[in-house]
Amino acid sequence: MRLRSTVTRLAAPVLAVGLMTTGCSSNETSAPPGTEAALGTTNDINPHDVADLRDGGNLRLALSAYPANWNNLSIDGNDGEIGGLERPMMPHAFRTSASGELSVNTDYFTDVKLTNTDPQQVTYTINPKAVWSDGSPITWEDIQSQANALSGRDKAFQISNNVGFDRVEKVERGVDDRQAIITFSRHFAEWQGQFAGNSALFPKSVTATPEAFNKSLVDGIALTAGPFTVQSTDRAQGRIVLGHNPKWWGATPKLDTITFSVLDSAALVPALQNNEIDAVGIGNRDDLKTATSTPGIAIRRAPSNFWNHLTYNGAPGSILADPKLRVAISKAIDRQGIATAIQNGLVEHPVPLNNHIYLQGQNGYQDNSLPYDPAAAAKELDDLGWKLNGDVREKDGRKLEIRDVMYNDLSWVQIAQIIQQNLAQVGVKVDIVTQPGKGFFTDVIGPGNFDMAQWSWQGDAFPLGSMLQIWGYDPKDFQGNYGHIGSPELNALIEQTLSELDPKKAIELANQVDRKIWEEGHSLPLLQSPGNVAVRANLANYGAAGLASLDYTKVGFLK
């Protein structure tokens, strides 16, 4: 969820539905125009003044599964789709432009600033009009309670990411209840991302106790504080409708409602054609052709902050517990071949993603990847004692047979088939295992029921804040490190990076972290989503957002 910038700040994992899918192309190789822009340079949302929009309307979007937990801060709720669902409903401290520049979100805060560096202190001044949907004020106690819950000090809180709150010494009341002063015990480089990006502010009723944090939002969300709130839910039908929040103090939304429907990936483009949904991410050339030829549909394009990857299961006892084995397997996977096969026709020059921390186009991105070298991979497997016995290697009577687990989507299966072919050439047998969207993270990935697994991470404009979440290793608190892989050396590098307040030095350190992640065979970045989105042509201020945050009071349909 680098999407931090890529994995970014609260890095949230997402399935291959809608805006985050990639897919296989046909034989045509011409890419649509505008696909060579870099992340952080543009977005494509059909911008219009709200005066151009009609009042009312229902924006219809898709989900891959009903929320397992509406608390997006929890391990079960740490899903990019859930974050997207709640974006129109929950407070965020900053807005982000297409270039990743930050500005205070004045709907919720009149000021957020670094007020001291020794010790580091950040002062949040809350908009005096800001209230939760029951009319109760948003106060410093909400910030204090969330900081405590996410600190990691009480392991009963099933958090997905501590987002630097492990560095918070205290949160105090400022000049009044509408001001919070956060004092850090250690520097935190990305302090601006603690209530921003993919990480919203929740009310203290949700974060005050482990019981409330873990369970109170399993069946739905009560208190919100955005222009929209939950109007109705239907778990059986897989439908969630957001309507106007009567306590909202900001600009009146142009839309009446936003409806989310749970749909299988194969049903997305047909639903768009049948005028059942209004926007869908385009993952393959055939879908692009279909959407382009559908009356009333426009294709909007901007490089996306979603990226596909492969995570290994390195837990003790797993077949891939040895980091040298994981590295050897990584060298046998042709990531450029995957990029060419999957994104041919979607971008002009398909290339793999070669960095875990930064996305292509972000300041700090550089290629730290392992080489594709099947000959070296075969030799390393021999040296590790995995010897060919027929077509499959064996060691101590155990076949080198691994399960690649993924959401049941054609694009993921196509990637897996390429990996399967690559690894067969060096004597590694891959079994492709597909799963439904429901329970994918809570029932499969979280418990470690995989040898390697594919999903997407979603990030925002904060590329460092999720490093500890995903690549830090704490056997008592794995957070988003689903592969249970890490080392004291990597932990130390992450700590050094997160403590560096000089942005240039932080970038240098972050790339050292990335190189170490490759060396440990933690995971394998595959592709950055090209960000092609098919939308209703008359839908304004919505589409391919890139790094930019959307303003749901301005989303609507043209007159």
Q: pLDDT value at position 37?
A: 58
Q: Is residue 40 situated within a structural domain?
A: no
- Residue 465 CA to residue 189 CA, distance in Å, equals 8
- Residue 127 CA to residue 248 CA, distance in Å, equals 12
* pLDDT tens figures, 244-302: 999 999 999 999 999 999 998 889 999 999 999 999 988 778 889 999 999 999 999 88
Asked if 5 and 463 touch (Cβ cutoff 8 Å), the reply is yes
Q: Is residue 232 situated within a structural domain?
A: yes
- Residue 423 CA to residue 416 CA, distance in Å, equals 10
CATH code at position 153: 3.90.76.10
Q: Is residue 223 situated within a structural domain?
A: no
* Residue 46, SS3 per DSSP: coil
Of 188, 547, 515, 489, the C-alpha closest to 356 is 515
CATH code at position 261: 3.40.190.10
Q: Is residue 103 situated within a structural domain?
A: yes
- Whole-angstrom CA distances from 289 to 32, 273, 326, 351 are 10, 12, 38, 22
Same domain, 481 and 339: yes
Same domain, 89 and 179: yes
Q: Is residue 45 situated within a structural domain?
A: no
- Residue 457 CA to residue 472 CA, distance in Å, equals 16
Q: What range defines the domain where residue 284 resides?
A: 228-302+531-557
Same domain, 387 and 464: yes
* Domain count along the chain: 3
pLDDT class of 86 with cuts at 50, 70, 90? very high
Of 96, 127, 91, the C-alpha closest to 201 is 91
Kindly state the tokens that stand for 376.
Answer: 């070296």
Q: Is residue 135 situated within a structural domain?
A: yes
Q: What is the mean pLDDT of residues 135-162?
A: 95
Same domain, 297 and 310: no
Spatial neighbors of 306 by CB under 8 A, at least 6 apart, are 3, 14, 19, 20, 80, 456, 457, 458, 528, 529, 531
CATH code at position 502: 3.10.105.10
Lowest mean pLDDT: which of 19-28, 74-83, 510-519? 19-28
Same domain, 477 and 356: yes
Of 57, 81, 54, the C-alpha closest to 67 is 81
Kindly state the tokens that stand for 537.
Answer: 């042509």
- Residue 247 CA to residue 134 CA, distance in Å, equals 7
Global pTM value? 0.79
Q: pLDDT value at position 39?
A: 61
Same domain, 285 and 342: no
Domain endpoint, select from 183, 216, 249 = 216
Q: What is the mean pLDDT of residues 339-363?
A: 88
Q: pLDDT value at position 131?
A: 98
Q: What is the mean pLDDT of residues 206-229?
A: 97
* Residue 383, SS3 per DSSP: helix
Same domain, 281 and 401: no
Domain endpoint, select from 188, 216, 244 = 216
**Highest mean pLDDT: which range of 75-79, 186-190, 215-219, 501-505:** 215-219
Same domain, 511 and 393: yes
- Residue 99 CA to residue 89 CA, distance in Å, equals 24
Q: Is residue 508 situated within a structural domain?
A: yes
Give DSSP secondary structure letters for 544-555. B-TTPPP-TTT-
Q: pLDDT value at position 261?
A: 96
* Residue 96, SS3 per DSSP: strand
Q: Is residue 278 situated within a structural domain?
A: yes
- Whole-angstrom CA distances from 41 to 34, 283, 452 are 12, 21, 34
Sort strands 523-528 and 102-104 into parallel, antiparallel or unpaired: unpaired
Same domain, 71 and 152: yes
Same domain, 422 and 276: no
Same domain, 354 and 486: yes
Asked if 309 and 453 touch (Cβ cutoff 8 Å), the reply is no
Same domain, 492 and 537: no
